[in-house]
Amino acid sequence: MAGGDREKATILIVDDTPDNIAQLGAILKDDYRIKVAISGTAALAVASSGEPPDLILLDIMMPDLDGYEVCRRLKQGAATADVPVIFVTARSDAVDEEKGLGLGAVDYITKPISPPIVMARIRTHLRLKSFNDFLKDKNAFLEAEVERRTAEIEAIRDVTMVSLGSLAETRDNETGNHIRRTQRYIKILAEALVDEARFKSFLSGGTVGLLYKSAPLHDIGKVGIPDDILKKPGKLSPAEFEIMKTHTTLGRDAISAAVGRLGSPAAFLSVALEIAWAHHEKWDGSGYPRGLAGDAIPIPGRLMAIPDVYDALISRRVYKDAYSHAEAVEIIASGSGKQFDPGIASVFMKVKERFKAVASELRDAGGSGI
């Protein structure tokens, strides 16, 4: 086939009368590629096989499937729904025209046909189809570009949060993989709580993912703690511990300032703020910095409490040896209803072996109790 023929639009003529086909073919043959179907069934087969035609000229009165039924089926097919259909028929009643247009046809030409009118209508609808195809391709490109840019922004955000969390970790160099482990722990815990009545509403709509991505910032406030306290090779004095406790409010203030600079609330930063500020609160009200109790403690803080404590217990420090997994589990169980939300502690007991697997996979070089 010559290159010029490939560039021509393809017109499918559907008519069971040879003279009508010949007449339309003679009008169109110099400007368009022509395909022919002499029945409704054949028209559907031709239109759906290979490359669909660019436009269909469709008679109404045919012996097997009438034009109305053919048009209806064409508009239901994924490959043919956007192909413009022009009825070419001897039926001139307004009711017939209304029915055809209602089924999705773009135009209605009555016989006997006028060649200039046929050509003008075809050119008009092919131009419209070309424009619509361009818009569809453009929209598809824009949607793909938006998805790509969104994914890129989310990746940058996630890397930034982990990097910021690692900044605090590098100043407290004995924590090792603490950030990565606690990320995994909180995700395991949150997923196990999704169907629990008390947490189902909060954990719906992507919150589990936000918790996972926000977890690296839980100790971001430690960047504001003096080195002689943060890196002290031993237990802290009461006065030093009071200063250490301020890392929760320092973290809150840093994240709150970031929210303020954005000028609008950001879901992931709001979750990160609650984690940083509330993960040292205790169920019985004896925690810090606000001394909140029970359900007054934000859920993100309650969720982070167990991963943070579990990981601290199984990790070796200069002032303590690492506890075993079994010992850490026993301590958390004994803290249910005191230090920890009893509902969350109960679910932790169901997934404790998954915590152990993460701890083993991301074991610190200095050793742990696993």
Q: What is the CATH number of the domain that holds 188?
A: 1.10.3210.10
Are 112 and 179 part of one and the same domain? no
Are 200 and 340 part of one and the same domain? yes
If one counts the domains in the chain, the total is 2
Are 236 and 317 part of one and the same domain? yes
Are 110 and 214 part of one and the same domain? no
Are 113 and 209 part of one and the same domain? no
153 inside domain: no
Are 205 and 102 part of one and the same domain? no
In this predicted model, what pLDDT tens digit does every residue of 163-208 receive, in sequence order? 455 555 545 544 558 888 999 999 999 999 999 999 999 998 889 9
pLDDT reported for residue 4: 46
Are 221 and 290 part of one and the same domain? yes
In this predicted model, what pLDDT tens digit does every residue of 53-68 receive, in sequence order? 999 999 999 988 999 9
149 inside domain: no
305 inside domain: yes
Are 86 and 182 part of one and the same domain? no
In this predicted model, what pLDDT tens digit does every residue of 201-250 receive, in sequence order? 999 888 999 899 888 889 888 888 888 888 888 888 999 999 999 999 99
Are 7 and 56 part of one and the same domain? yes
252 inside domain: yes
Are 235 and 96 part of one and the same domain? no
| CATH code where residue 49 lies | 3.40.50.2300
pLDDT reported for residue 1: 40
pLDDT reported for residue 260: 74
pLDDT reported for residue 248: 94
207 inside domain: yes
177 inside domain: yes
160 inside domain: no
Arithmetic mean of pLDDT over the chain? 87
pLDDT reported for residue 363: 87
Are 92 and 136 part of one and the same domain? yes
Give a three-class secondary structure readout of the chain.
Answer: CCHHHHHCCEEEEECCCHHHHHHHHHHHCCCCEEEEECCHHHHHHHHHCCCCCCEEEECCCCCCCCHHHHHHHHHHCCCCCCCCEEEEECCCCHHHHHHHHHCCCCEEEECCCCHHHHHHHHHHHHHHHHHHHHHHHHHHHHHHHHHHHHHHHHHHHHHHHHHHHHHHHHHCCCCCCHHHHHHHHHHHHHHHHCCCHHHHCCCCCCHHHHHHHHHHHCCHHHHHCCHHHHCCCCCCCHHHHHHHHCHHHHHHHHHHHHHHHHCCCCHHHHHHHHHHHHCCCCCCCCCCCCCCCHHHCCHHHHHHHHHHHHHHHHECECCECCCCHHHHHHHHHHCECCCECHHHHHHHHHHHHHHHHHHHHCCCCCCECC
369 inside domain: no
| Span of 50-64, 277-291, 297-311 with lowest mean pLDDT | 50-64
Residue 122: domain span: 3-142
Are 133 and 184 part of one and the same domain? no
Which of 95, 127, 142 is at the close of a domain? 142
